[in-house]
Amino acid sequence: MKKAVVTGLIGGVMGLFMSFLMNWLLIPIPETVLANALGNGISGLLSGFMGGFIGLLMYMKKNTAPEK
């Protein structure tokens, strides 16, 4: 359980950075509420996917590596 929490936190931080960079560099300041909601939805989708994917990769790497 401890390993899952640690890798989940690492994946979550990576997702946070992905969301931050996407909002800062790719999505301009929205002019309408709909554009804002769409930008936040896309950012959340990508950051959630990247966070989960990186967390899963870290979990798999730690569990398949031989323990010393």
Q: Which tens digits make up the pLDDT trace of 7-63?
A: 777 777 777 777 777 777 776 677 888 877 887 787 778 777 877 787 788 778 878
41 to each of 23, 28, 57, how far by Cα in Å?
Answer: 11, 14, 24
Q: Which residue would you say has higher pLDDT here, 40 or 66? A: 40
Is the pLDDT at 65 greater than 70? The verdict is: no
For residue 17, how far is the Cα from the chain centroid? Answer: 7
Instruction: Look up the pTM and report it.
Output: 0.56
